[in-house]
Structure 1
Amino acid sequence: MKLYYSPGACSLACHIVLEEIAIPFEAQRVDIGQGEHLAAPYLTINPAGRLPALEEDGSVLTEATAILISLALRYPEAGLIPKQADRMLETLAWLSSTVHPLYGALWRPGRMFAEEERRGALSAAARAQLPPVYERFAERLGTQGWLAGEAFTLADAYGIVFFRWANRIGIPVSDTLTDWARRVEVRPSVQRALEREGISLWS
């Protein structure tokens, strides 16, 4: 099993989950910042030029949410899907359909517009929408300490990516979210993934 990742990208969630389920895997770095995701070697893996991708026995699975759910279903002993999974699935969908696209608009407006002026307007509009999103993020924690109940799940593995992105661009986050991030950070799986990728949650 081989995970194609870029340091700090949404592939970090898949990296964490692979460490959680504790199976042998290879991690192949594809640096988005260097344009490696658009170079021929990676395009043979995923012609869309997006990360992550998970390769196994000649088959390739793409899209972070699909990879996360697939791994958790195949390895239920890791306990990454709660018995009552509705809230977890809702949170995964919210992260992938609401939060992630805002960062796409912020960082890569050229995917939508060729004109520089329109790109700038799109980036500015996306950034303006992010602070209230993180207020909603904190509300999802409720009083249970995790994003989808009383234990760490796929939602937390995916959510920590966006906590890190907020720190990266200076979006304020609440003490509630910061405390949650510290609980996530101390997990051995998270520490191993961060170390391999050479990144921190805080910078």
Structure 2
Amino acid sequence: MTQILFYGVPEGCSFGSIVALEWSKQPYRLSRIEMPETVTSAAYRQINPVAETPTLRTSTGEFISESMAILNHIGAGAIEQGIAFRQGTKDFDRLNQMLAFLNTTYFSAYASLWYALEHVSDGNEKETLIAYGRTNVAKAHEDLELLLGNQQWLLGDKPTLADAYFMGIARWSHFHKTASYADYPGLNKLHQRLEDDAAVKFAHAIEHEKEAKSAGGFAGHISFDDVLKIALEAV
């Protein structure tokens, strides 16, 4: 059974999981989930009760949610590709430390901006949320610039799952018109290096429904309805 990633559009952080799958060279399929329409539906909640993307249907039929869990699942099968490390090693701990920072600090910095966009009409409340969000985003970028230091990639001299996840979130800066990468030389170089990567270009094309050329194990799209039917039949 080929694993299936349910990725959210527009601008889902699941972008990073697509990049990771491409780097892993593992066979996989994609299922496009419109947000908020499909992701909040009763049907989607059958596979992810909290109504979020990404969700991964593994090769053995289980469903995994949350980006960190999905990335580590992908990474466990991609040690030889160098994007992840064996549990118990120093590098594994370093990778999970960086993934945790990206998940708790970098990702969360945008929370008030997303809330203001999706749930608040114009007025003082929206202005306050946006100002608060911009302050958080600036601080998160400052911290990540320090963690990156003089390295080419977040963990050193080669890309890992952390860089894939970073790219899934990094696009939000432009989307929300917040931090400018020109103010963060190291992150600016990392961001451009990733934009030039074939897997990132593939993920962009997938999101925007353009012709996408996979350098990994992409085996095509499958509709959510078809996946759900298969999953329910297997129960």
Q: Calculate the TM-score normalised by the size of structure 2.
A: 0.75
1:12-41 residue CA offsets vs partner (Å, 9 max, x unmatched):
111111111122211111111x42200123
Matched AA of 1:100: F
Deviation readout 1:96-117 (Å, 9 max, x if unpaired): 111212212321269999xx86
Q: Distance in 1 between matches of 2:64 and 2:147?
A: 29
Using the TM superposition, give the Cα deviation of residue 163 of structure 1 relative to its aligned residue in structure 2, in angstroms: 1.8
Question: Residues 41-120 of structure 1: matches in 2 within 5 Å?
Answer: 41-56=43-58, 57-82=60-85, 84-108=91-115
In the alignment, the residues of structure 2 paired with residue 169 and residue 151 of structure 1 have an alpha-carbon distance, to the nearest angstrom, of 29
2:141 pairs with 1:138: no
User: 1:140 Cα deviation (Å)?
Assistant: 1.9
The 2-side partners of 1:166 and 1:31 are apart by: 21
Of 39-48 and 145-154, deviating more is: 39-48
Residue matched to 1:172:
180
Contiguous gaps of at least 5 residues in structure 1: none
Q: Structure 2 regions of 5+ residues with no counterpart?
A: 210-235
Assess, with a 3 A threshold, how the Cα gap between structure 1 residues 111 and 90 changes in structure 2: closer, same or farther: farther
Residue 6 of structure 2 is matched in structure 1 by 4
**1:162 has 2:169 as partner:** yes
For these two proteins, the number of residue pairs brought into alignment is: 196
Structure 1 distance, partners of 2:109, 2:198, is: 30
Aligned to 1:30: 33
SS at match of 2:43: helix
Match of 1:153 among 140, 147, 160: 160
Bigger CA radius of gyration: 2
Per-residue CA deviation, residues 109-153 of structure 1 (Å, 9 max, x unaligned), is 69999xx86676444322222112212222222112111111101
What is the identity percentage for the equivalent residue pairs of Structure 1 and Structure 2?
Answer: 28
In 1, the alpha carbon distance for the partners of 2:78 and 2:189 equals: 28
**TM-score (structure 1 length as normaliser):** 0.85
1:182 aligns with 2:189: no
Structure with more helix by fraction: 1
CA–CA distance in 2 between the matches of 1:144 and 1:107?
30
- Report if aligned partners of 2:110, 2:136 keep a CA contact under 8 Å in 1: no
Counterpart CA distance in 2 for 1:131 and 1:65 is: 23
Other-structure match for 1:16: 19
User: Partners of 1:111 and 1:172 in 2: how far apart?
Assistant: 23
Structure of greater relative contact order (alpha carbons < 8 Å, 6+ residues apart): 2
